[in-house]
Amino acid sequence: MTYIAPSADVADEAVLGDGTKIWHLAQVREDAVLGENCIVGRGAYVGNGVHIGANSKIQNYALVYEPAVLGHGVFIGPAVVLTNDTYPRAVSPDGSLKSAHDWTPVGVTIEDGASIGARAVCIAPLRIGRWATIAAGSVVTKDVPPFALMAGVPARRLGWVGKAGFPLAEDSGFWVCPETGAQYIEDGALLKEYSPNAVEDNA
């Protein structure tokens, strides 16, 4: 069953998957589509037509502006902002107030399993690869490869993370997760999962 807190504002045209929960003072706009078992925290905003995959978490006061697309199992931390306007202005050069028809929204795409830390800002248009981690307070201005650990203003890659979210350690030509023991290998500027029988290309 879905749950919508009495103080939440969910448009009739929004589509909520089974088990999804929308908490107090959150707003989910028209034509937004949320998969199964999503959580939208207190005061969060999900824009018109945003797509969010199953088992994703949008934490308190995060702002997910359209036309963002989030994969499955994405974590959006408290007060994260996904922007949608490359050249923002309230008014046109003649001083008249801009309307929704005076600019074209651009979106942030976040692939499966990626995590965006608290108060990070993602400047559209960009894509964040699957299982990447963006540290709290970062400002992301460029595309992020899968499994990358990013931090700073602007964000830069500090290392790699595995599916469990822990930073990987280099060992005998592999990158190894200290939590699960899973191995990964570098291929140029990308990281791939490794298995003894086959190397899966997850770029």
Q: pLDDT value at position 100?
A: 81
Residue listed under structure tokens 């088992």: 55
Residues β-bridged to residue 174 = 171
- Is the CB of residue 91 less than 8 Å from the CB of residue 110? no
How many C-beta atoms lie closer than 10 Å to residue 92's C-beta? 12
Q: Is the pLDDT of residue 197 over 70?
A: no
- Is the CB of residue 173 less than 8 Å from the CB of residue 183? no
Distance CA 66, CA 45 (A): 10
Q: pLDDT value at position 200?
A: 45
Residues 71 and 128 grouped into a single domain: yes
Nearest to 163 by CA among 38, 72, 93, 54: 72
Residues 34 and 57 grouped into a single domain: yes
Residue listed under structure tokens 């929004």: 14
Tens digit of pLDDT for each residue in 75-102? 999 999 999 999 999 999 999 999 888 8
Instruction: Give how many domains the chain has, as a whole number.
Output: 2
Question: Domain containing 80 — which CATH number?
Answer: 2.160.10.10
Q: pLDDT value at position 102?
A: 85
Residues 96 and 188 grouped into a single domain: no
Residues 63 and 95 grouped into a single domain: yes
Q: CB-based burial of residue 103 (10 Å sphere; 0-12 exposed, 13-18 middle, 19+ buried)? A: middle
Residues 94 and 187 grouped into a single domain: no
Q: Is the pLDDT of residue 201 over 70?
A: no
| pTM of this structure | 0.92
Residues 6+ apart with CB under 8 A from 130: 71, 111, 112, 113, 114, 146, 147, 202
Residues 122 and 192 grouped into a single domain: no
Compute the mean pLDDT over every residue in the chain, rounded to the nearest whole number: 94
Beta-sheet pairing, 156-160 with 148-151 = antiparallel
Q: Is the pLDDT of residue 196 over 80?
A: no
Tens digit of pLDDT for each residue in 141-168? 999 999 999 999 999 999 999 999 999 9
Q: Is the pLDDT of residue 50 over 70?
A: yes
- Is the CB of residue 106 less than 8 Å from the CB of residue 90? no
The stretch 46-65 carries a mean pLDDT of 98
Q: pLDDT value at position 110?
A: 98
Residues 124 and 143 grouped into a single domain: yes
Q: pLDDT value at position 198?
A: 55
Residues 189 and 104 grouped into a single domain: no
Residues 199 and 146 grouped into a single domain: no
Residues 171 and 87 grouped into a single domain: no
Residues 39 and 71 grouped into a single domain: yes
Residues 198 and 147 grouped into a single domain: no
| Domain that includes residue 123, residue range | 3-161
